[in-house]
Each structure stands twice: as structure tokens, then as C-alpha cells.
A and B are shown apart, each in its own frame.
Chain A
Amino acid sequence: MSLERLRPTSPALPATLLFVVLGVLAALLFGLQIVHDWPSPGDQLGGIILHYSTLPRGTVALLAGAALGLAGALMQRVLRNPIADPSTLGVVSGAQLAMSGALLYAPSLMAVAREGVAFVGGAFALFLVVALSWRRALDPITVVLSGMLISLIAVAFSSTLILANGEYMMSMFIWGGGSLEQQSWAPTTSLAIRLTLAAFVAVLLIRPLELLALDDANARALGLGVTGTRLAVLTLSVFLAASVTAEVGVIGFIGLAAPNLARMAGARGLRQILVVSPIAGALILLLTDGLVRLISLGISETVPTGAATALLGGPLLLWLLPRLGGSLRSTQQSVALATRVASWRLVLPGLLLLVLGVCALFIGKNGEGWAIATGQLFDLVAPWRAPRFIAAASAGAMLAATGVLMQRVTGNAMASPEVLGISSGAGVGFAAVLVFWPAASRVAELGGAAAGSVIAILLVIAISARHRFAAERFLLSGIAVGSLAGALVTVVMARGGPESMRLLNWLSGSTSRVAPEDAMMALAAAALFIAPLPLLARWLQVLPLGLPFAQSVGLKRSLAASILVLIAALLSAASTLFVGPLSFVGLMAPHMARLAGFARPIPQLAGAVLIGASLMVLADWMARTLAFPYQLPIGLVAAMVGGPYLIWLLNRR
């Protein structure tokens, strides 16, 4: 049989049709918008709105979409990676972080060099991503995994900056959601100039880019400076993405969608893809923006367009995942373990928790500096500090237990509630309860969060089951589901109702307003869900060895895994309510327990629980004192510690 017959039939015709339909729809929607905003004769204000808001909004959508489409096409080409784009590689979030930072600490810089700041941030993020995956020869999945983790961390830092500077920064969030709202033609002009410039450079680079279709060795043998070409092309794409981010904010996944749509429509070869991708990107963004405005017609501006594209991005990534080539890695990855220690050493993390607890209760800051609370003063502060301590410790313990469960069930050392999107899923459930049932009790909120996290983890499992839980794909599905859930939360938050502030608080993880009842509930949940785990130690022993092994010793893996995952989802939901979705304690604590030498299931679980509780108590204490008299969100403080740890972990594998 010839190879020809194995090749799928060309999808070009229906896909081209899709393209046309897309274009017509986008144009129709935009036309509708123009008709809607068309001023009645003599309506000067209406005329101004049409000329300086409606029309430039359309052109900005087209230009930004085109720029992102071109950036995505270039990145995918130069990294030989069909899921590379400015958002999956962390460029957009890096740019956002740099701009938030500059806005707060060097506002004059922002005034003169907005794009420059965005470019530096985006370039730095991409540099980190490339450095992290260099040892894996820029393997597509590793690159995107690093990119999306860097992205998560950058978002956490941005949120911290915003939150630490008070609630008037809320508009930064709207901008972070990527609003295409326009007031002048200046962004259009700026983007047009930049896009033209970039297109010109891309044309100059077309021959080296064509050679890059070969592998590095061949390209080198043909006399191409591979590293130099890569650097030049990546710089160009960061330039494009940073320009868009600087002008209109975070618009995700267009760079992912456009080149793939171009390929589906039958674009073959570099030249065609480089031409069709920007067109596709422009159409997608215009269409999305049109839909967003259609939905919000009548109501005031609600959903930022960037949040809407992020909603598309998660599913798109999930759809592309199974189509990715690349090797299926072994599912087994664990942090190397040099020695094991006896279980009595669990006393040490126990002592640590005790010491930190005493510090948290007695030491704090007042107007003059550090102060130890004794006597009457202690009686005064204890009712405030004790619930925080209990809630933080319980949440940390629950996250750590979740991490142990997920890592053991999946046999994957990177698994954790934060990375697998379970925490973000809890956020969606929580948001749904807030929106549809505003007067809900704390228990109902917990129920909603639990339902959300169960759905998220089921989704991740369903998607990665097809690949037999190959480690990287599993994580990537988790991150994709997490980003979808995150986008949903952003959409709800951007509605601006009373639930927005609560969600924002939740997102950052705040123990500052924990009531004694809440603390007791956290403690009860921790006790209730962690207590049965030692009984299931044998499952935790067998499951990390993988499906074939579990089967061969007669363990019904599906049942065992379902029960453990359910418990993990409950634990994760309960803890997430208090400390937010992004603390990374669920990832760190199980590793630290292992590195300390606790390898068997029960000691590891106990060690992780103690360490997780300690980490969270420490984070809470820092959150209280670092920026005194302001309170930082505990979840974000923990994430600032956890993020770098995650990067280190990713790098050492």
C-alpha cells in the first residue's frame, strides 16, 4: 500500500468555506455595530462615538488579531511546535506583569515607553521558558508546559501587585482582561506601523525560516545560523505580542488559533501560512469582539474581549493536544530520593508547625515595629490571630494532602491541585454559587466549590485517559482546563457586581477576614477528609506503580482512583475557599516531605500535612507583617514562594 492512501483526504474545501463564513459573520457583526452606533442627523456626540470609538475598535481588533496571528505563526514555525503562541509561552503574561509593575513603581516610564516595558517583560518570560526547556531540546510539550506555568506565576505576581495597592487598581484587572474599548485612533496608528514593520522583517527572514523546517543539524549543515535565526524570529514575535498587549491588554490564544485555522483551511508551506495566519487572526478577533458586543448590547460593557478569547483558548488547546506528535513519555517521574528516615522524625515538622504557630500568635507588628503580644495585649489580638492561624494551617494541611493524593494516584511528581486546574475549577463552582444564589451559606459555597473541582478533575482525566496519562499531556490538559476555568472566573469578575470583589478576594486567597466559625469549618473539613486516608494507605502504595501493576495485583484501579480523586477534590475545594487557587503548597509540601526522607504513604502524608500547614501559617504571618499596616493576600504570598520552587523543579527534571 502506498503512503498516499494513508493520508487523510484534504479538508481544504469545507474549511475554506468555514473561513468565508467566519469572515462574513465578523463583517456582519461589525456592520451591525456601525448601524447601531450610526448617529441620527445632528447628533454630534453620536458622531464622535462612531468616529473615535466604534470604528477604531474594529480596526484595532483587525490589527491586533493580525499581529497575534503573525506572532503565533512565527513562533510555531521557529519552535516547530503547533501549540506555541504568545499566551502559551508566557509572553503575554510577562508583558502584563512588567506593565503592572512599571505602572506602580515607575509611572513616568510607562508614559514614555509603554511598549518597551511590555517588550522587556515578554522577552524575559520567553527567555525563562526557553531556558527551562533547552535541555529537553525544546520539546513542544515541555516548552508549552513551562510557558503556561511561567504564565500562571506571572499572573499571580501581577495580581499581588494590584491587590497590594488597593482596590482602586480594579481597572488594571479590566485591562488585564483585554478590553478593546477605544477612544482615539492612536492605538490603531501605532499598531499599524508596528505590524507593517514586523511584516517587512518577516519577509526578510523568509529564507532562513524555510530552512528551519529541517531539523537543526540539517539546517546548520546548509549554512544557517540556527540560534541566530531563532533569536531574531522570537524577538520579532515578542515585539508583535508585546505591542498588542501594550495597546489593548491581554488577548490570549489568537496566535494559537490563527495558524491552526490557516492550516485547516489548506494553507501549505511557510509563505502561505505566514500570509493566511494574520488574516485568520484578524477575523477571529473581530468576530469575537463582535460577539462580545452583541451579547453586551443594551447592558453596559461587561465581558472583556480578551477574557472571551481565553474562553475559546482552553478548549482549542484541548482539541489540539491529541493531534500533537511527539513522544509519549513514561508516566513515571518522581523526585529522586537519596535516603529514607524513620517515622519518629515526623516530630521535626510537627515542632516546626508548633514554633510557627507560636510566632503567628504572639509576634506581630504595630506602629513602632515588631512586637511580642503578652498579657492584656495578647487577649486583645488572640481573637483575631487564632482563627487566621487555624484556617491557614487547615488549608495548608488540606492542600498538602491533595498534593500527596494526586501525585500518588497519577504517579506524576508534578501533579497538584493548582497545576491540574482543580483549584480553578473550585473557583468556577464558587463563582456560580455567588452569581445564582447570592445569599448562600458557607456550606453551600463549599458545595459549589467542591462540585466545580470534581468537574474539573473529571474533565482532565477524561481528556488524558486517551493517552494513558502520559505525564506531560496530563499536566497540559490540567493547565488547559485550569485556564478555561480561570477565564470563566475573569468573565464573572468583570461583570462588576458585588460578587466581583469577593471573587477577587478569593482569587488572591485571603485569611484576613476569617471568622471563628470559618476557621472551625476549615479545621473540621481538614479533619474529616484527611482522617480516612491512612486507611487507604495500601492504595497509595500500589497506585504510583501504574495501571498494569495495579491490575496485576488485583486492585480495581478505577474504583480506588475515583475514590481518592473525589477526596482530593473535596480537600482542594475546602482549602481553596480560604487561600485561593494559586498557592502551590499542594505541589511543594509532598515534595518537601519526600526530600526530608518520608517515602512510605502514611509518613509522607503526615509529613506533607505538617509541612503544608507550616508553609501556610508562615505565608499568613508574612502576609500580615510584610506590608504592615496593609494585609497581603496569603495565597499570593505562598505563590511567590511556590512559583520559583516550581521553576526549579521543572528545571531539574
Chain B
Amino acid sequence: MVARRAASIADAGEDALFTLAGVSFRVPGRTIIEGLDLRLEVGHIHGLIGPNGSGKSTLVKMLARQEVPADGSIHFRGEDLRQEGDRAFARRLAYLPQFMPSTDGMNVEEFVSLGRFPWHGTFGRFTVEDRAKVEEAMEQTGVTAFRLRLVDTLSGGERQRVWLALLLAQDTECLVLDEPTSALDISHQTEMLDLVRTLAKKRGLSVVVVLHDINMAARICDRLVAMGAGRVVADGTPAEIMRPDVLQQIYGISMGLFAHPDSGIPVAFVR
């Protein structure tokens, strides 16, 4: 039964962004994800939500090929992730890790230019097109003004935008973001996520983003996938997820909702 369903999902994978069939992930002594089937769509912004330890981060790491599943298969635009070359894959999918490394004395422009590595490689020339993509990415994220500043000296919000610029310079069709706002205050969270949404729609990108704040997620995502104990516990549009019974199921605490006074979008709160 499960196998048949998995097979049918894989068959239908041609125009899906991701199809996962029977994906499992284990660390010694613990199974983090077990037999996960999931299909994500092209052009959507997918929000991955769920409590700590539910396997969200592991899932996006597998999508971005940072981790390899123990069992099962992941297809990206119909192609098996295991078959893809490193640079070819990096030209199609850009990944923002949860913990960002120190940037080792680089200025903003140099750092964003690293996003062109998948295109020019180790010895290739840094072409006019590369330059143009970097400029465009810095322009769209509003970091052009401090292009010569050292990345390590920027504020948290600015640094996050610089990382987004690097991802955009990679010129991929898909962004995978692991908690892009965890270190930001509320105004910068909003700014960052609105920027992600605007740019994704403008550039026609598909996005998978891990978010902790359910209200933020509902605000910017087209679809929410809720994880719990390594399985999908709820999956649907924000309107379908933002219901007291579903939220109770996801977070295990009683939650209520009210309509946002200005926009009418449902807002969740803990009872």
C-alpha cells in the first residue's frame, strides 16, 4: 500500500518541485524521519513548520543535499538527487544554512560573488554576465550601498540580506532556507520574509523555508507543511492550517485564532 503510493508519487514527479518517496533519516540510536512521502510544487512558497526536533531542519538539509537519506528517494524536478553533479545542482538550488559561518574578512561584494562559483567553477573566468547577476542580486536585496563593508561588521538584518543576495546571485530556480529569521527582531523578520516573498514572486522562484513563527509562515507562504516526530502531521494552505484543531495537533497546546484587524488574515495565539 505504502509502496504503491510512493511509486505513484514518483511517477507524477515530472513537474513537481520535489517528490519524496519513503525517505528515512537516522542518527545512531534515533530515527529522525521515517518513511516520509511528500510532494512540493513548482512556483510555490512552502513553509515548513512544527515543534523543535520534528525533523524540519533534517528535511531541508536532505532537500539541499546537505544530508543523504538512509532510505527512500528524493527527486528534484523529476531527477534523482543522487544523480546530480555538485555544481549543476548548485545552479538550480540555493541553500541558506541555519547557522551561518563567519565570513573571514570578505567584503559584501566579494561575498555575494561567491554565489557565482557554480557557474564559473574553479578556473573559469568571472564574466560580464556573472558581474551583472551579482549587481542585480545586490540591487534587489538593497545591499549595494554597503558593498565595500566587511560582512562580519554588518548588523544581523543586513547580514541576512547579504546572504539572500548571495543566494540570488546563484541564479537558481529554487531557494531552500533553514530558519532565515531566527536571529532577527520582529521588524527585521518581517522585512526579510517580505523580501523573500516579493523576490520569489518577481523571479518566479520556488521556495522551501523553515519557520518557527506560525503567523509569519501563514503571512508569506502559499502552503504550509507541518512536521511532527519525523512525519507530516498537516499539509495545506494557510487557511486550512490556521484552525484551532489543526494547530492543537501540530504544537500539542491549545491555540486560538482571531482575524487580523487590518487584513483579516487569521492570527494564532496560545490560549
- Which of A544, A551, A600 has its CB near the most chain B CB atoms (within 10 A)? A551
Partner of B90, one of A544, A546, A552, A594: A552
Determine if A536 is an interface residue (Cβ-Cβ < 8 Å).
yes
Q: Name 9 interchain pairs, CB-CB below 8 A, sorted by A.
A: A334-B102, A340-B105, A541-B114, A542-B114, A545-B104, A545-B114, A551-B65, A554-B88, A555-B117
Partner of A554, one of B90, B99, B102, B107: B90
Partner of B99, one of A330, A340, A541, A544: A330
Q: Which B residues fall within an 8 A CB radius of A?
A: 64-66, 85-91, 94-95, 97, 99, 101-107, 110, 114-115, 117-118, 122-123, 150, 152, 170
Partner of A600, one of B101, B106, B170: B106
Partner of B101, one of A546, A594, A599: A546
- Which of A331, A332, A546, A549 has its CB near the most chain B CB atoms (within 10 A)? A549
Residues of B near A334 (CB, < 8 A) are 102, 104-105
| Besides A542-B117, A554-B87, A555-B86, 17 new A-B residue pairs in contact (Cβ under 8 A), listed by A number | A331-B101, A334-B102, A340-B150, A411-B104, A535-B123, A538-B117, A541-B106, A546-B101, A551-B64, A551-B65, A552-B94, A553-B90, A553-B117, A553-B170, A560-B122, A600-B105, A600-B110
512-555 of chain A: CB within 8 A of chain B: 535-536, 538-539, 541-542, 544-546, 548-549, 551-555
Q: Which A residues fall within an 8 A CB radius of B?
A: 330-334, 337, 340, 411, 535-536, 538-539, 541-542, 544-546, 548-549, 551-556, 560, 594, 599-600
Partner of B64, one of A539, A542, A552: A552
Residues of A near B103 (CB, < 8 A) are 545
- Which of B66, B91, B105 has its CB near the most chain A CB atoms (within 10 A)? B105
- C-alpha spacing A411/B105, complex, angstroms: 12
- C-alpha spacing A549/B66, complex, angstroms: 9
Residues of A near B66 (CB, < 8 A) are 548, 551-552
- C-alpha spacing A127/B229, complex, angstroms: 49
> B160 to nearest A CB, angstroms?
15
Residues of B near A594 (CB, < 8 A) are 105
When C-beta atoms are compared, the residue in chain A nearest to B95 turns out to be: A552
> B60 to nearest A CB, angstroms?
11
Residues of A near B123 (CB, < 8 A) are 535
Residues of A near B101 (CB, < 8 A) are 331-332, 411, 544-546, 549
- C-alpha spacing A259/B117, complex, angstroms: 51
- Are the CB atoms of B105 and A337 closer together than 8 Å? yes
When C-beta atoms are compared, the residue in chain A nearest to B113 turns out to be: A541
> B132 to nearest A CB, angstroms?
18
When C-beta atoms are compared, the residue in chain A nearest to B85 turns out to be: A554
- Are the CB atoms of B104 and A544 closer together than 8 Å? yes
- Which of A541, A552, A556, A599 has its CB near the most chain B CB atoms (within 10 A)? A552
> B61 to nearest A CB, angstroms?
8
When C-beta atoms are compared, the residue in chain B nearest to A408 turns out to be: B104
CB within 8 Å for A548 and B95 given contacts A541-B114, A554-B87, A599-B104: yes
- Which of A330, A332, A411, A594 has its CB near the most chain B CB atoms (within 10 A)? A332
- C-alpha spacing A411/B37, complex, angstroms: 37
- C-alpha spacing A542/B66, complex, angstroms: 16
- Which of A546, A554, A594 has its CB near the most chain B CB atoms (within 10 A)? A554
Residues of A near B95 (CB, < 8 A) are 548, 551-552
- C-alpha spacing A553/B86, complex, angstroms: 8
> B176 to nearest A CB, angstroms?
9
When C-beta atoms are compared, the residue in chain A nearest to B103 turns out to be: A545
When C-beta atoms are compared, the residue in chain A nearest to B65 turns out to be: A551
- Are the CB atoms of A549 and B97 closer together than 8 Å? yes
- Are the CB atoms of B90 and A599 closer together than 8 Å? no
Residues of B near A340 (CB, < 8 A) are 105, 107, 150
- Are the CB atoms of A538 and B122 closer together than 8 Å? yes
- C-alpha spacing A600/B103, complex, angstroms: 11
- Are the CB atoms of B150 and A337 closer together than 8 Å? yes
- Are the CB atoms of B118 and A553 closer together than 8 Å? yes
- Are the CB atoms of B86 and A554 closer together than 8 Å? yes
Residues of B near A549 (CB, < 8 A) are 97, 101
> B46 to nearest A CB, angstroms?
18
> A538 to nearest B CB, angstroms?
6
- C-alpha spacing A206/B64, complex, angstroms: 55
